[in-house]
Structure 1
Amino acid sequence: MLGFLNDYYATPSLWSVPRSAQRVLEALNRWLYRQTRAGDAHLCTLSVLVLRGGRAHLFQVGDSRIWRLREGRLECLTRDHQRPLGGTRVLTRAMGADPRLEVDYVSTGLLAGDRFLLTSDGLHDALATEELAQGMVGPEAPALLAERLIEAGRRLGARDNLSCQLLCVDSPGSADLNDRRAALDERPLPPPLRPGMELDGLTVERELHASPRSQLYRVRDGDGRTGVIKAPSVNLEDDAEALQRFALEGWLLARLRGPHFPRPLTPPRPPGCQYLYLEYIDGVTLDQWAREHPDAPVEERLYLADQLLNGLRALHRADVLHDDLKPDNLMVDRHGVVKLIDLGNAHPRGGDRPGSTHPQGTRPYTAPERARGEAPSERADQFAAAAVIHEMLTGILPWRGHYRRAAGRPLPPMTRLNPFVPHGVERALARALSARPEDRFHDVAELRAALRRPGPVPRAAGGDPEARIRLWRGISVVLLVLLLTVLAVK
């Protein structure tokens, strides 16, 4: 059990409980199975109870049990994996018995006052259901009540292993995404804000951005500290899917850590309507940066590309897919750090995500398979990042954004547009922009590594289209003279 706890809490916080528990249990089962195959029997039963947000998650292998006492009624929430054989009972499922693990999973809501009891077969075979229920209540601490249940089992002559754990729920948690959605649903949408207006102790200074989906306002608190309010547009009042995505973005930002994501702040007063309160990023969007720095050297642009891939790698390591990378969703702060500022279309893998399966990204940066309606993936994000980097280096999108017509065609030479793009960078982006996802890099870390080894920078003349035209004209003249000479000889 200690191994499960250590490994479970080492999984990414954005993973769902079933995903985290299943990964950990499978790894533990493989280790136990190897020990058993080596001759050292490591078969065991396992019951796991995880409380997260407003729900209880139960995982069961073997014949231990998990009980719930609610309003005086005791209910067993698990089923035993055993069958009778020769007058005794044998396990049909156990940890370490098979390399492939089959786990029963149950999820149930929590109520204040719920009590959960985990028991080994020695205890629940010795005590009747009524005796277990009576032993679970009382003014004593749960640990003391559990010890008394063990003592009762011993008095009744239980011969098998006696163990139990008792857990009392004072109040359900509220960190779960579903709980966050429900809490947001209870709050109204904020009205359009104007400079000087106050919202929950925050004074609006000016509007930073407005779109059909959201508005961003620069605000300051009573101590003069600056922040940003991101509010859903009033146009979304009847769009439940869009509001769910807005709730998901706040939930993700509250759990992501690192320099490439906006930092959530706590407003002076509890929010009275739906919005996100985030740190103010002193910088510009990547699109605006490109317009303000038309003569920036390739090295500086590649540094920003490296920052972008660092942020995307951190997102993928947290098991989240962005699915809407584009220059307007990226900011460059005054320290040159690229930040992923819009996660409204993100997909946390292993967890529920609101919304349809239709493409969510912005078409000029959307991978071909996503445009066809396939599921989002790390390699689709990689394609979008490569498209952004290509545009940053050359000023235009690869194949000018016509990916369907360009299927199977090589990437046009980038040196025609920017003669200082290293050949290694061009080769790396060509691979990341492959029409077939399986032909791209394994992950964005590999793409980043390839861009960090760009090779020599081409000479400007070599990349000059006019120079190449003059070269081929010269070669053509020489070939024509040779041909006329041969004909004259004949």
Structure 2
Amino acid sequence: MASQLKVTVGQHSDKGRKAANQDFHGVYIPQEPQLTAKGIAIALADGISSSAVSHIASESAVGSFLGDYFCTSDAWSVKKSAQRVLMATNSWLYAQTRQSQFRYDLDRGYVCTLSAMVIKSTTAHIFHAGDTRIYRLRDGRLEQLTEDHRLWVSQDKSYLSRAMGINTHLELDYRTFQVEQGDCFLFATDGVYEFASDARMVELITTQNTDLDGAARAIVEHAYAQGSDDNLTVQIVRVDSLPLHEASELQQQVAELAFAPLLHPRMEFEGFRVIRELHASSRSHLYLADDIDSAAQVVLKIPSVDLQHDLQHLERLLSEEWVARRIDSPHVLKAPVPTRKRNFLYSVSEYIEGQTLRQWIIDHPQAPLEKVRSMAEQIGKGLQAFHRLEMLHQDLRPDNIMIDASGTLKLIDFGSAQVAGLVEITAPFARNQLLGTAQYTAPEYFLGEAGSPRSDQFSLAVIIYQMLSGRLPYGAEVAKCKSRTAQNRLVYQPLRDNDRELPVWIDDVLRKALQPDPLKRYAALSEFIFELRQPNQSLLKKHRPPLLERNPLMFWKGLSAILGAVIIWLLSTGS
């Protein structure tokens, strides 16, 4: 089993020559699986000296960060999780000041500086506002990683330009970098670093490397002896070991679980009773089964024997259930919470009785526009549930959309889904694999670029176009374009070329969502879905598009013919 992320921590804080200590600090090291999913969090806050209540701000900022960060979805990235928590805390601190007697004097309100770090997998994430500092000690050299947010008005007078609770909008510095085994991170308030030299702090950490609490205490005592007149706090975090990239929760399960056997009707397996096989392919087998304990009908998915050594495929199979358990939407396939210990490698999901959208398209070759809009809205709601959790579906196609008996559309098959929180703990080479179906895949994936919600928007637009026309907007040409120049030559075929009575502006809406350049698509999926019903005024006022836009090839052929005729005429008259 791969080694875990392990750190050694040393901390010390003292009020110094002040009457009270307004600093607050803390470290939280969770147990697995949160250690892998969320990492280790460290935070240090320093209350401003002009405020009698800033110690409350410091304690609240550190306490809420260390507590609430680990309550955020493990599908979220570190950046999104931490920023959401810190912005909420900032709003609370600012509101406390506005509701107190200090509302007209922010320098006496609930304000503090904050420097925080999350170490997840092999990456450190820094969040910083104010003048507390984070240093990195590597190879005997101390490097300052944060910038002091202090505005100097004279040689001996300055003000904080950024802090927690000082404004409704929180400006945070954010940076990431790779961590190496043996790295030491030093957190210090200005009462320490203004009186203790870098060389002295390095010396004390190096000589007391087996007792980091003692090293932190020694640095504080040294700064005090040098005349510090402020509170003094030091935290030292040493990275003792780092996990391998493949130490994710899902990959550990792949290594620990046995390969599932082929199932057959009436067979009992892991607390399920198999009813029948639903589907079989070279990649997996799906079975309808009853949960013996709950009597609920479920779908069991086991990998094909031919792929039992394909670790990435096995991990993606488990990730489908992982994703399904974390999304709560009527338009996304659900997975039941496991109630029994699992011994074999398989996934479980709800059973949807109905048909795929692919079959529905075959059965309805002339689908009414209103029906298509309604179905697109349901698919859009499912995608938005993904995007809210920083997930991308990445394999949206008619085969991966089910329509149940009530007419509700549900997204299925999450084996290609990208999850921001999991990307941070996977090896870089595994992040850029093209897993979707070429005809519905956004063009940027073929250039090796990362996906975005606009990539899922493109796939949805392809499906809508197909539902209205029976064909694909670019045919199979997108997969052949391996450069941005080639993609820019793709020609959108207007829907009005078909024998369909459709509003002209529908083409403009789809054309925008189907732009090869993702930056030219709709900024938000909700905007695209809305304009399928309510076009903006610019589209309604637009006249028939010029030939260059409708058919660029015909335009340039015609222009070339005219120029050729002009040249021939000039040559003939000149002779």
Match of 1:358 in 2: 433
- Please say if 1:391 is aligned against 2:472: no
Alpha-carbon distance in structure 2 between the residues aligned to 1:391 and 1:82: 53
Offset at 1:448? 0.3
Alpha-carbon distance in structure 2 between the residues aligned to 1:91 and 1:350: 37
Q: Check 1:418–1:351 CA distance in 2 against 1; reply closer, same or farther (3 A cut).
A: farther
* 1:101-116 → structure 2 map (5 Å cutoff): 101=173
Alpha-carbon distance in structure 2 between the residues aligned to 1:273 and 1:215: 14
- Please say if 1:441 is aligned against 2:522: yes
Work out which of the residue numbers 510, 534, 538 in structure 2 matches 1:429.
510
Work out which of the residue numbers 276, 280, 283 in structure 2 matches 1:206.
276
Amino acid at match of 2:461: A
Q: CA deviation digits over 1:85-118, x for unaligned, max 9?
A: xxxxx99998569956256889899xxxxxxxx9
* 1:191-340 → structure 2 map (5 Å cutoff): 191-222=261-292, 223-267=294-338, 269-294=340-365, 296-340=367-411
Partners of 1:410 and 1:430 within 8 A in 2? no
Q: CA deviation digits over 1:449-489, x for unaligned, max 9?
A: 0112269xxxxxxxxxxxxxxxxxxxxxxxxxxxxxxxxxx
Offset at 1:2? 3.6
SS in 2 for 1:399: coil
Partners of 2:250 and 2:315 within 8 A in 1? no
Alpha-carbon distance in structure 2 between the residues aligned to 1:396 and 1:259: 29
Alpha-carbon distance in structure 1 between the residues aligned to 2:145 and 2:387: 38
Q: CA deviation digits over 1:349-404, x for unaligned, max 9?
A: 35425625232221111222222222212222211111111111211111333234
Offset at 1:192? 1.9
Match of 2:501 in 1: 420
Q: Check 1:59–1:378 CA distance in 2 against 1; reply closer, same or farther (3 A cut).
A: closer
SS in 2 for 1:376: coil
- Please say if 1:40 is aligned against 2:107: yes
SS in 2 for 1:343: coil
Q: Which has the higher contact order (CA 8 A, sep 6+)?
A: 2
Offset at 1:246? 2.5
Alpha-carbon distance in structure 2 between the residues aligned to 1:365 and 1:309: 15
Offset at 1:289? 1.7
Q: CA deviation digits over 1:18-37, x for unaligned, max 9?
A: 5422565578789999x9xx
Match of 2:75 in 1: 14
Work out which of the residue numbers 435, 441, 456 in structure 2 matches 1:381.
456
Alpha-carbon distance in structure 2 between the residues aligned to 1:104 and 1:44: 23
Deviates more, 1:434-443 or 1:344-353: 344-353
SS in 2 for 1:227: strand
Q: Check 1:82–1:227 CA distance in 2 against 1; reply closer, same or farther (3 A cut).
A: closer
- Please say if 1:179 is aligned against 2:179: no
Partners of 2:188 and 2:234 within 8 A in 1? yes
Offset at 1:288? 1.3
SS in 1 for 2:300: strand
Percent identity for Structure 1 against Structure 2: 35
Q: Check 1:430–1:121 CA distance in 2 against 1; reply closer, same or farther (3 A cut).
A: closer
Alpha-carbon distance in structure 1 between the residues aligned to 2:321 and 2:233: 41
Partners of 2:365 and 2:467 within 8 A in 1? no
Alignment root-mean-square deviation, CA: 5.0
Alpha-carbon distance in structure 2 between the residues aligned to 1:330 and 1:80: 47
* 1:478-489 → structure 2 map (5 Å cutoff): none
TM-score, length basis structure 1: 0.66
Alpha-carbon distance in structure 2 between the residues aligned to 1:451 and 1:365: 19
Amino acid at match of 2:285: Q
Structure 1: unaligned runs, 5 residues or longer: 66-77, 84-89, 110-117, 135-157, 166-175, 456-490
Offset at 1:186? 0.5
Alpha-carbon distance in structure 2 between the residues aligned to 1:380 and 1:102: 26
Amino acid at match of 1:14: A
Alpha-carbon distance in structure 1 between the residues aligned to 2:234 and 2:501: 69
SS in 2 for 1:398: coil
Q: Check 1:64–1:260 CA distance in 2 against 1; reply closer, same or farther (3 A cut).
A: same
Amino acid at match of 2:408: V
Work out which of the residue numbers 534, 539, 542 in structure 2 matches 1:453.
534
Offset at 1:320? 0.9
Q: CA deviation digits over 1:30-75, x for unaligned, max 9?
A: 9999x9xx973887444658799x999886766699xxxxxxxxxx
Q: CA deviation digits over 1:229-257, x for unaligned, max 9?
A: 12222222221222232333332222111
Match of 2:569 in 1: none
Deviates more, 1:409-418 or 1:269-278: 409-418
TM-score, length basis structure 2: 0.57
